[in-house]
Structure 1
Amino acid sequence: MVVELVCVGTEILLGNIVNTNAAYLSEKCANLGLSLYYQTVVGDNEERMTTAIATAIDRSDIVILCGGLGPTKDDMTKEITARVMGRELVEDPHTRERIQAFMDNYIKSQPEGKITANNWKQALIPQGASVLDNHNGTAPGLIIESGGKTAILLPGPPNELKPMFEEAVYPYLRKKQPEIIYSEMVKICGIGESKAETDISDLIAAQTNPTIATYAKTAEVHIRVTAKASSEKEAKQLIKPVVRELKLRFGKNIYTTDENKTLEEAVVELLRAQHLRLTTVESCTGGALSARIVNVPGASDVLKQGFVTYSNSAKKKFIMVKKSTLKTYGAVSSKCAKEMAKGGNFTTGSDVAVSVTGIAGPDGGTPEKPVGTVFIACCLKGETKVREFHFNGNRSKIREQSVVNALILLRDCILENFKK
């Protein structure tokens, strides 16, 4: 069954808002096993909206429209869709009652507010349409079926669209689509996309159902395994041997098979499992590493302290980097990174410390140490490892790559400690 998205709003075309609805709806449709070939964004223009909606209904079985259901004159989605599908608009008493109750409640907290005549525009629905109650706003959703075609109209605000889709639209679509698509994600760190794809080229060449797709992230590769089946249980059985094979091939480089888990969450779990307290010592990343750790709920269990030692004087004063090291080797050096990590451990009495020092640019590079040169060190229980990197990209990209690779080094050191 083919589904199509039409998102309405000039503000989307102008870039005033990000169209998160399309990403959300696309994922949900994919999970349902629906084939989605087109997404359209159209501004609040009657002629262009008519063309976009008529084209979508003509070539797809189901058209999901979001936005343009409000009370103002430029909210025309319902009116145009009804006209395209040959339906008259009639007032729905149930929806009028809900709008009245919603506005009465609103006026209680906003005494200066009042119900205006255009609010009742939202109580008009295409004749024969199914009404989807909006528990978070005044614009109801609608399902219009005609001649084997279906139009599903949803409000634009995500905090109204998402609950309505989950409560009413997903169950409706599930009944219409007997097959489902189920996916599992295998997340890998420390391996580039080209190598990861090469390592599984035979699996990709032989794929039918399930299918395998790789996605490049910063210093990570995510591999999605997707199966189509009549039930989630059957799809999981199809996926299971493929995921098992990926685990055999990538081993410890796989940090999770939970699509929602981040690298920093996986690292915090490892720290917690080994009862390790962490100190971060950062120069070029300016606190971005500790910020990633703090993003994880419960990070206070493992993060003891964070230093941003941007200047040489801070490195000497707070984490005991030797003056001779800075003079002889420089702040961006393996020796300095090592002393930063060891000093962070000693100063705070933590179990493990990670340090980052480098040249993020755009200035400061030399022929010997060009922009993108970064040294990352990890000191765990007296043993220190240092890795040298030469990153490409702008300042932001170099700092981002530094943070991710610091997390990867920290994870590797913890795993080695597990073995011991």
Structure 2
Amino acid sequence: MITELVAVGTEILLGNIVNTNSAYLAEKCAQLGLSLYYQTVVGDNEQRMKDTIKTALDRSDVVILTGGLGPTKDDLTKEITAEVMGLPLVEDAHSRELLDAYLKQYEKNDAQRRITSNNYKQAMVPQGALVLDNHNGTAPGLIIEKNGKTAILLPGPPNELKPMFEEEVFPYLRKKQPEIIYSQMVKICSIGESQVAEEIQDLIEQQSNPTIAPYAKTGEVHLRVTAKAESEKECKKLIKPVVRELKSRFGKNIFATEEKKTLEEAVVDMLKDQKLTLSLAESCTGGAIASRIVNVPGASEVFLQGMVTYSNRAKRKSLGVKKSTLKMHGAVSEKCAKEMAKGGCFVTKTDICLSVTGIAGPDGGTKEKPVGTVFMGCCYNGKTVVREYHFTGNRAKIREQSTAHALAFLRECIMEGVSKKD
């Protein structure tokens, strides 16, 4: 069943409001197994709205419209959809009753408020429409069916749209769509997108159901394995052997098979499992690695201290980097990264310290050490490993890549140290 999303509102079109509704609805459509081919944003213009809705209904079986159901003159979604579908507007007595109760309570809470007549336009609905009660606002939702086409109108505020969709629309669409789609994510780090693509080329060429879709993220590659079946249980059964094969191919590079699990969560979980403590010595990343670590609930159990030693003086005073190292090799060097990591462990008395020092640009690069040169050190179990990286892009991109690769490097060091300890 082909489905289309239309978000209505000039404020969305101009970027004043982020269109989170469409992201939410797209995910729900995928869960229902609906084929979503188009998403559109249209401003509060009568003719453009008319053209957009007509086009959507012509090419899709179900059109879900969000926003434009309120009391003001520019709230036109219901009126224009009814016109396009050739349906008159009539007052819905039940909606009028709910609206009256809501508005009287609203007026009662503040003596300065008064009920205006334009509110009652929200009780007017296309003839024959299924009316969806709004328990969190005034504008009811609507499901309109005609000539094999369905238009679903939902209020714009997310705290009204989401419960209405969950309670009313999801069950309605579930009955119309016998199959569902279920996905499982396999998240990979420490190897690049091109390498991952090459490793799974044969699987992609042979795939039918389930399918594998790769998504690149800074320092990570996500593989979404998706199956279509009559039930979630059947989908999981189809997905299981594919995930098993991916685990066989990528092994320790897989850090998560859960949609919401992040790389920093995987690192914190490993530290907790091994009862290890962590410190960070950052230079060019300026605390960005620490920021991602502390985003994880419970990180305080393992993360003891983060130091942003941006200047040479700070590297010497806080981490014990030798003056001769900075003079002979420079702050951006293998030797400096090594001394930062070792010094961090010594100063903080932690089990592991990760250090990062580099040239984020746009200035500071040389022929020998161009912008994007980054050294990372990891001290664990008395041994320090250093890696050299070369990133490209602007200052923000280089710092972002450094942060992502630092987390992956840290994860590798923990695994390597644990295996040797065992």
- The answer to whether the superposition gives a TM-score over 0.5 is yes
SS at match of 1:21: helix
Determine the structure 1 residue equivalent to 2:362: 362
Q: Please say if residues 381 and 417 of structure 2, whose CA atoms lie closer than 8 Å, have aligned partners that are also in contact.
A: no
* C-alpha distance in 1 between matches for 2:66 and 2:285: 40
Task: Write the letter of the residue equivalent to 2:373.
Answer: T
Q: Please say if residues 184 and 226 of structure 2, whose CA atoms lie closer than 8 Å, have aligned partners that are also in contact.
A: yes
The alpha carbon displacement at 1:109 in A equals 4.4
Determine the structure 2 residue equivalent to 1:58: 58
SS at match of 1:195: helix
Determine the structure 1 residue equivalent to 2:245: 245
SS at match of 1:63: strand
Determine the structure 2 residue equivalent to 1:271: 271
Task: Write the letter of the residue equivalent to 1:355.
Answer: S
Equivalent positions of 1:185-334 (< 5 A) are 185-334=185-334
Q: Deviations over 1:177-213 (max 9, x none)?
A: 0011111110000111111010111111111111111
SS at match of 1:371: coil
Determine the structure 2 residue equivalent to 1:402: 402
The alpha carbon displacement at 1:417 in A equals 2.5
- How many equivalent residue pairs? 420
The alpha carbon displacement at 1:110 in A equals 3.9
SS at match of 1:104: helix
SS at match of 1:286: coil
Q: Please say if residues 312 and 326 of structure 2, whose CA atoms lie closer than 8 Å, have aligned partners that are also in contact.
A: yes
Determine the structure 2 residue equivalent to 1:339: 339
Q: Provide TM-score, normalisation by structure 2.
A: 0.97
* C-alpha distance in 1 between matches for 2:248 and 2:386: 28
Larger deviation, residues 349-358 vs 38-47: 38-47
Corresponding position: 1:6 with 2:31: no
SS at match of 1:261: coil
SS at match of 2:213: strand
Which consecutive segments of 4 or more residues in structure 1 shift more than 6 A?
none
Determine the structure 2 residue equivalent to 1:178: 178
Q: Which runs of 5+ in 2 are unaligned?
A: none
The alpha carbon displacement at 1:317 in A equals 1.0
* C-alpha distance in 2 between matches for 1:395 and 1:402: 11
Q: Percent identity?
A: 72
Q: Deviations over 1:279-329 (max 9, x none)?
A: 111100111110000111111111101101111111111111111111111
Larger deviation, residues 134-143 vs 299-308: 134-143
The alpha carbon displacement at 1:406 in A equals 0.9
SS at match of 1:276: coil
* C-alpha distance in 2 between matches for 1:402 and 1:97: 59
Corresponding position: 1:116 with 2:116: yes
* C-alpha distance in 1 between matches for 2:354 and 2:70: 52
SS at match of 1:342: helix
Determine the structure 1 residue equivalent to 2:103: 103
* C-alpha distance in 2 between matches for 1:257 and 1:274: 20
* C-alpha distance in 1 between matches for 2:279 and 2:113: 53
